[in-house]
Chains A and B, each alone.
Chain A
Amino acid sequence: MALLFEQLLNGLQFGAMLFMLASGLTLIFGIMGVINLTHGSFYMVGAYCGAFALAHTNSFAAGAVAGLAGAALYGLLVEFTVIRRLYKRDHLYQVLATFGLILFTNEAVSMIFGRQPPMVEIPAFLAGTVPLAPGFQYPLMRLAFIVVGALVALGLWFLINRTRVGMLVRAGADDREMVDALGIDIQKLYSVVFGLGALLCGLAGVMAAPLLAVEIGMGERVLITTFVVIVIGGVGSVRGAMAGALLVGMVDSLGRAYFPQLLGAMLSPEVADMLAAGLVSASVYVLMALVLIFRPKGLLG
């Protein structure tokens, strides 16, 4: 029972991380109509900037600020220099340009920070485990991750439903031309959305840095899963991204936890191991296929 509960928490934590990445991506795609493959690179830039500041100041707060600022600034720079020229172009141009930016960012980061993955210790106030039930400990850092994810969700809900910027974002997601026609500076709105998306990536990067290796190419690993999340949730919908992130997080974690045992109980060990390994790798995509069969526009699209 404790094991199931722990695996659920693991799923929740993975979901929280995916949500931070997917919420920005879905807004950029939904509102600006831009397929942004560089999104994973913002996450990497955030992690590297955070690690760099942490190594030089020994303060996690400074690292967090540097990570957020670094990712957001880089996002704005990318928007200003490259993305801005591609709004009216076909998706293929955007894919090409942002894919090129992935390569560029990877090389730039390895030139600036070196190939050696920097070390990020878990800050003292988040180190160790906390007892959640008798005989059941859970790492504090992962709990913090879940809490931050929940705060981001609350903050985005407030921003989108209760503020003027949020109103424009909603309007932009529904009908871009109409917002433009009503005299709103859509260009400014785009920059804000893009910067916000990059900022959330930076947050995910800073939070992930103590748990994961900060290395070149770390962004591409989560990028595909993030796209799966927004497709499942419905492009352009933050609530959809939330639902998709939780669903993908749970399916991935519980699949890894229980597929091998389930199959092992039914089949011979060799067959079960091979099949389970394959099934675990594919579980998220199977989920996406199932969702798309019944809801071609995603859960909340």
Chain B
Amino acid sequence: MVRNMIRGGLCALLFAGAGAAQAQAPVKIGFITTLSTPAGYIGEDERDGFSLAIKQGGGKLGGVPVELVVEDDALKPANAKQAVDRMLQSGIKLYTGVNFSNVLAAVAPSVLRDGAYYVSLNAGPSTFAGEKCDKNYFVASFQNDAYHSAGGEAANELGYKRVVLLAPNYQAGRDALAGFKRTYKGEVLAEIYTKLDQSDFSVEMARVRSLAPDAIYQFHPGGAGINFAKQYANAGLTKTIPMLMPSFSMDGRMLAASGASAEGLYTVGMWTTEMDNPQSRAFVKAFTEAYGRTPTDYGMQAYDTALLIASALKAVNGDLSKGDAFRAALAKADFQTLRGKFRFDTNRHPVQDYYLMRVERSGNGFAPKIVRKVVSDGRDAYVGQCKG
């Protein structure tokens, strides 16, 4: 009896608190990302890119005060699941931040089951692009396979007739090669799967040399990618067999760690620090001034995601309970993207351009410069399977 009264009283208090808070309280955004482990620099850039947009808005996104609640997932899906469950219980309705597809697979279902929103700033696994697409799930970065399909197109354009593909032996690695093969028209001489924790690639490179392809396409993000580029140059292969890769196999931090051995490499991506539009130039300048380092693609994607969220928050004046209006505003993607061009497909994944780039000297370092556009308004292969 007494307990019930206390419970009732607490509830009343809570309701009263919520009612009073509604007018002023900032919208909380759950930001789960990878800040520890060797991949921690990626999450760091994502958090900083997102925070930069908030800072520039004076603590607001789209004129609505926001509060970023950051949690580290340490690249473990179980950690991320716990974090998101905690955040959902505390009533957070809007989420972003997850970098890795396998972590997102643990986070997204919890968020969506609860009727909350997820806007991805990096991972775009095929799982949620097709049949299992959700009206509250938006991807502001790219769909995984589509990125590598652009790689296949680039290989066609460069006139490579015979290629060797290399990727680590896990889901994203296999997806990468599948995406590449979807558009590549030449002959794939060999698909070499490396070990996930491998750091020396001399054996694979000897095999590449003996196969003598026109080029190789390799997907090794993070430290493995630095190892790969360094050893490829050291083995004298850069001069004889060109290397093509998605830009996250050679992001800005990796470029800085690889030095001159990265010069002349081809990458495929949707953005570079050298992108020639005013908003991108301003972003690179502001990011460099704020954090003392040049932003990576990850930083750019996070910033774009923040702007997208800002546009939708503005439309509903921060009231996330107006579900249809908020979704419609997100889908409109009414923001100035750093990529130059951006719109959502019917499965709420991007329709965007991809570029072929070449790593060249820039200032006192190296940066990818755009050679030409290889995919115009690229869509992913799963749009048709998404109903509603």
Which residues from chain A sit less than 8 Å from chain B, CB to CB? Answer: 3, 6-7, 10, 13-14, 110, 115-119, 121-122, 127-129, 137, 139, 141-142, 210-218, 221-222, 253, 256-257, 260, 273, 276-278, 280-281
> How far does the Cβ of A119 sit from chain B's closest Cβ, in whole Å?
5
In the complex, B192 has a CB within 8 A of chain A: yes
Q: What are 14 inter-chain pairs, A to B, with CB distance below 8 A?
A: A117-B257, A121-B260, A122-B234, A137-B236, A211-B200, A211-B231, A212-B227, A215-B38, A221-B197, A253-B203, A257-B206, A260-B193, A273-B191, A280-B193
Q: Are B38 and A129 in contact (CB under 8 A)?
A: no
Please give me the 7 A-B residue pairs with the lowest Cβ-Cβ distance, nearest first.
A213-B226, A213-B223, A277-B169, A277-B193, A10-B202, A117-B257, A115-B41
How distant is A276 from chain B, measured CB to nearest CB, in Å?
8
Complex CA–CA separation, A3 to B203 (angstroms):
10
Alpha-carbon distance A212/B235, docked complex (angstroms)? 13
One of B207, B224, B230, B256 near A210 (C-beta < 8 A): B230
Contact of A116 among B169, B224, B234, B257 (CB under 8 A): B257
Q: B204 contacts the other chain (Cβ, under 8 Å)?
A: yes
Q: Give A2 to B202 CA distance when docked, in angstroms.
A: 14
* Chain A contacts for B76, CB-based, 8 A: none
Q: Does B110 contact A (CB under 8 A)?
A: no
Q: Do B206 and A119 have beta carbons less than 8 Å apart? A: no
Known contacts A116-B253, A116-B256, A277-B193; A256 and B236 CB within 8 A of each other:
no
Interface residues of B in 248-301 (CB under 8 A from A): 253-254, 256-260, 293
How many A-B contacts at CB < 8 Å in the complex? 100
> Which residues from A are CB-within-8-Å of B253?
116-117
Any A CB within 8 A of the CB of B199 = yes
0 or 1 for each of B134-167: is its CB under 8 Å from A? (1 = yes): 0000000000000000000000000000000000
Hey, which chain B residues are within 8 Å of A117, CB to CB? 223, 226, 253-254, 257
Within 8 A of A (CB), among B32-77: 37-38, 40-41, 44
Alpha-carbon separation in the docked complex, A215 to B221 (Å): 13
Given A116-B293, A213-B199, A213-B224, are A139 and B234 neighbors across the interface (CB < 8 Å)? yes
Q: How far is the CA of A10 from the CA of B231 in the complex (A)?
A: 12
Q: How far is the CB of A144 from chain B (nearest CB, A)?
A: 12
CA–CA, A207 and B131, complex, Å: 50
A45 to B177, CA, bound (A): 36
Q: Mark B192-227, 1 if CB is under 8 A from A, else 0.
A: 110101011011101101100000000000011011
- The CA-CA distance from A83 to B210 in the complex, in Å, is 49
Q: Which residues of A contact B193 (CB under 8 A)?
A: 260, 273, 276-277, 280
- Contact at B203–A257, with CB atoms within 8 Å? yes
Given A115-B44, A116-B257, A273-B193, check contact A129 B203 (CB 8 Å).
no
Complex: how many Å from CA A137 to CA B206? Answer: 10
Q: Across the interface, which residues of A come within 8 angstroms of B234, CB to CB?
A: 122, 127, 139, 141-142, 210-211
Contact across chains for B202 and A142 when beta carbons are under 8 A apart: yes
